């Protein structure tokens, strides 16, 4: 093991005993380059971050231009910073009416924390409802609404008054009642192994929230920015949430989160008490310019449409006796093999052949397909033949 790998293991805090540990020296488009001279077709995209590909020239240029102007000047919300204002204005123009006031934070989990605080303030209620098998982030509030006991049991006590319902299950909707401040839901569950609910359930969920005065919060941290074949996943269901939570691809490859609500509601954070949510680095100008540039690229290059088409191609090509199901929308796909060991063999087999894949933490029997949305049909075909060959080798077909 060389000195860099030694220092990686010894001095960089680790989160798992088995990191992939690719030694990255560069990345562009759909490819990651490593020190040993290899290149990998990236089917992970930094876990649904690099939607416009690695280092898109327009995003890189926007970052460089902003570096020549200013970086951090003051914590969020005090100065008029054009990068923040332009990005917020653009997002509001793209989103349905009622989602017009944007609060930028640092990550998806912080955005969920802040959305919970805002929901409590708007409704004056305390109870929260979330879904079994959901994932909303690693901080205590987000963990509290995460429906995965394995991630929670070493961290209790968590938030009280959190109740879980079955995703896409009608029977439990009456657990949402007049005590409920908010129902937080991923419109398509990600970490659960990509679970797509019916439009009927989403609309029933919206109707129930409206009937009892509970707020509907969509966590689109993973589904946002074209990943599912539409700019935002809410468009699949004809449902508008009261609060929208964004992250991952939002910052064009730089760290950023946001929660978005109606102006009058968001304004409640400014008084009684003031500074209802505060953050030093939220809305930093670099992720703002990168995110705005990435959003323009996403729309100009029609990447949501490409995601829908390439997603269909993956589903068409990934046919093998060992594949139980390919689930999902656009380029948010899960390939379910029904066997966690087989998933490990296939992911590692693909890695040897230059295709980077990753499994789901909460659904180890499946691996994810979530490449940059710029991927083309030749790259999809190449990825699929490598996946199918790895499956052949692992199953002896
Ligand atoms: N919400 C969803 C749906 C996610 O998939 C994730 C991360 O995977 C988060 C929230 C947390 O985002 P972050 O890791 O930026 O805190």
342 Cβ contact partners less than 8 Å away, ≥ 6 residues apart: 322, 391, 394, 395
Ligand 1 atom nearest to CA at 139: 16
Whether pTM > 0.95 for this model: the answer is yes
Query: Contact, 227 vs 51, CB < 8 A?
Result: yes
Nearest CA to ligand 1 atom 10: 136
The domains located in the chain, with CATH, are: 3-55+302-395 (3.90.1150.10), 58-300 (3.40.640.10)
- Helix (H), strand (E) at residue 104: strand 101-105
Ligand 1 atom nearest to CA at 138: 16
pLDDT at 1 exceeding the cut of 80: no
- What does the pLDDT look like over 5-20, one tens digit per residue? 999 999 999 988 889 8
Starting at the edge strand found earlier in the chain, the sheet holding 325-329 runs: 325-329, 332-336, 363-369, 358-360
- What does the pLDDT look like over 337-370, one tens digit per residue? 999 999 999 999 999 999 999 989 889 999 999 9
pLDDT at 291 exceeding the cut of 90: yes
What is the dihedral angle through the alpha carbons of 221, 278, 251, 27, rounded to the nearest 10 degrees?
Answer: -100
The proportion of the chain whose per-residue pLDDT surpasses 90, expressed as a percent, equals 96
Q: Tell me how far the alpha carbon of residue 69 lies from the centroid of ligand 1, in angstroms.
A: 31
pLDDT for position 69: 98
Span 177-183, average pLDDT: 98
Query: Contact, 48 vs 190, CB < 8 A?
Result: yes
Residue with tokens 């969509």: 218
The proportion of the chain whose per-residue pLDDT surpasses 70, expressed as a percent, equals 100
**What residues flank ligand 1, with Cβ below 6 Å?**
47, 107-109, 112, 135-137, 186, 190-191, 219, 221-222, 247
pLDDT at 393 exceeding the cut of 90: yes
Closest CA to 217 of 131, 140, 281, 288: 131
Ligand 1 atom nearest to CA at 255: 15
Secondary structure letter of residue 214 according to DSSP: P
Q: How far apart are the first and last CA of the chain?
A: 35
Strands 127-131 vs 162-165: parallel, antiparallel or unpaired? parallel
Closest CA to 350 of 371, 329, 332: 371
Span 230-249, average pLDDT: 98
Q: Tell me how far the alpha carbon of residue 137 lies from the centroid of ligand 1, in angstroms.
A: 5
Q: Tell me how far the alpha carbon of residue 221 lies from the centroid of ligand 1, in angstroms.
A: 6
């Amino acid at each position: 093991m060389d000195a860099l790998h030694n220092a990686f293991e010894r001095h960089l805090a680790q989160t798992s005993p088995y990191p992939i540990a690719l030694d990255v020296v560069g990345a562009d488009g759909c490819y990651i380059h490593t020190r040993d001279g290899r290149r990998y077709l990236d089917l992970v995209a930094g876990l649904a971050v690099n939607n416009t590909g690695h280092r898109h020239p327009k995003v890189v240029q926007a970052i460089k231009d902003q570096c020549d102007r200013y970086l951090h000047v003051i914590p969020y919300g005090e100065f008029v910073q054009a990068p923040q204002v332009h990005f917020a204005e653009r997002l509001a123009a793209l989103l349905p009416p009622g989602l017009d006031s944007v609060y930028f934070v640092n990550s998806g989990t912080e955005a969920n924390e802040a959305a919970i605080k805002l929901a409590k303030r708007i409704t004056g209620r305390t109870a929260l409802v979330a879904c079994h098998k959901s994932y909303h982030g690693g901080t205590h509030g987000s963990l509290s609404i995460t429906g995965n006991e394995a991630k929670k049991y070493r961290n209790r006590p968590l938030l009280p008054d959190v109740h879980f319902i079955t995703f896409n299950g009608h029977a439990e909707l009456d657990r949402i009642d007049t005590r409920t401040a908010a129902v937080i839901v991923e419109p398509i569950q990600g970490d659960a192994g990509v679970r797509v609910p019916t439009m009927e359930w989403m609309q029933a969920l919206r109707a129930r929230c409206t009937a009892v005065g509970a707020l509907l919060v969509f966590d689109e941290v993973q589904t946002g920015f074209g990943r599912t074949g539409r700019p935002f996943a809410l468009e699949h269901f004809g449902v508008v949430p009261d609060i929208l939570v964004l992250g991952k691809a939002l910052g064009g490859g730089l760290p950023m989160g946001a929660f978005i609500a109606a102006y009058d509601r968001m304004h409640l954070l400014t008084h009684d008490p003031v500074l209802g949510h505060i953050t030093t680095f939220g809305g930093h100008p670099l992720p703002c310019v990168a995110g705005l540039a990435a959003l323009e690229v996403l729309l100009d290059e029609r990447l949501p449409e490409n995601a829908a088409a390439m997603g269909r191609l993956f589903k068409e090509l990934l046919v093998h006796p060992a594949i139980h199901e390919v689930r999902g929308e656009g380029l948010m796909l899960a390939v379910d093999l029904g066997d966690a060991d087989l998933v490990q063999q296939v992911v590692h087999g693909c890695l040897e052949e230059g295709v980077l894949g990753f499994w789901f933490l909460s659904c180890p029997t499946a691996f994810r397909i979530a490449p940059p949305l710029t991927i083309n049909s030749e790259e999809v075909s190449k990825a699929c033949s490598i996946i199918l060959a790895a499956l052949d080798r692992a199953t002896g077909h």
